[in-house]
Every structure is written in structure tokens, then in C-alpha cells.
Amino acid sequence: MERTVEFRVVVGVDGSPASLAALRRAVAVAAARDAVLVPLLAGRPAGRAARRLLDAALRAAVDGWPGGVLVRPAVVPGPAGPALVAAVSGPADLLVLGAPGRPRRPHRHGDRAARYCRAHAPCSVLTVAAPPAEAALTANSAYLQPS
């Protein structure tokens, strides 16, 4: 019997400019690798508000749910780092993170999650920075809020 291996591209989503840039990159990688895209929102209880935030992030990053890519969104309570690492299954998967903002708006939680993921993930970790113009436009605004 032939076993089918499912490759995943797991991406941390919090609505920040860097996480939206990471989501855009993750969609492209998932499409190129014929992988399952797992946008993951950590630290919030599952429910409609969390699902709306993930929907808003996908709309902002790639204009909606990407066609041709299997998407399995996840909302996980608890710290982002352990939740992201738990979502990958092995070395063939990819973990995509938004680069924490520096120097104007450091994201201490993002730094902690990224450090945790780099130290504990069984797969490659890709860190993506927000484009400078996008980061500047939203530097003083709140992250995405569910609509």
C-alpha cells in the first residue's frame, strides 16, 4: 500500500504587516510545493472572532482564500511558539513567520515566538519581513480586527 505524505506550510498569523507578508510568501510556497497551507492564529480561543481575523488576514494578504491551494486554518490557545512548532510534522514541512518589527515597533512576543521556533522546529523556518512601505503605513495602527 502506498502512503501519501502531506507536506504543510504553516504560517503564523496575527494581522501585523510582517505576518501578512509571511502569509503572502506561504501561499506562494504552498502553491509551488503542492502543499497544504496552515494559517495559524495562536493565543486566542477558537470561535467566530478568530475565524474572522484569519479571513481578514487572507483578504488583506492575498485578496481572499487562495485558489488551487488547500487551506486548513487553525486557531490554537496558548503561546505562539509552541503552537506553531506543534503544527508542523517533520523536516519536509516549512514554518513561515513574520519578522518582528525593528527598531520602531519591536514585537517582543514575536521575537520570543521566532526564537522558540528556530530552536525547536523539526523543519526549516523562513522569516519574512514586511515591505518597508507597508510597515510604515501601519506603524501606528492596530493589527487587523475582525469585521
Predicted TM-score (pTM) above 0.85: no
pLDDT > 90? residue 141? no
Within a domain: residue 145?
Answer: no
**What do you get for the CA distance between the two ends of the chain, in Å?**
47
Task: Quote the domain boundaries for residue 120.
Answer: 8-33+43-77+86-128
Within a domain: residue 2?
Answer: no
Within a domain: residue 137?
Answer: no
Handedness of CA 89, 107, 50, 58 (dihedral sign): negative
| pLDDT confidence bin for 74, thresholds 50/70/90 | very high
Number of structural domains the chain divides into: 1
Within a domain: residue 3?
Answer: no
| pLDDT confidence bin for 140, thresholds 50/70/90 | very low
Within a domain: residue 17?
Answer: yes
Within a domain: residue 138?
Answer: no
Distance, in Å, from the CA atom of 147 to the CA atom of 145, rounded to the nearest integer, reads: 6
Q: Read off the CATH number of the domain in which 71 is found.
A: 3.40.50
Residues 26-59 pLDDT 10s:
999 999 999 999 999 998 777 888 888 888 988 8
Residues 90-118 pLDDT 10s:
999 999 999 876 544 444 455 789 999 99
Within a domain: residue 92?
Answer: yes
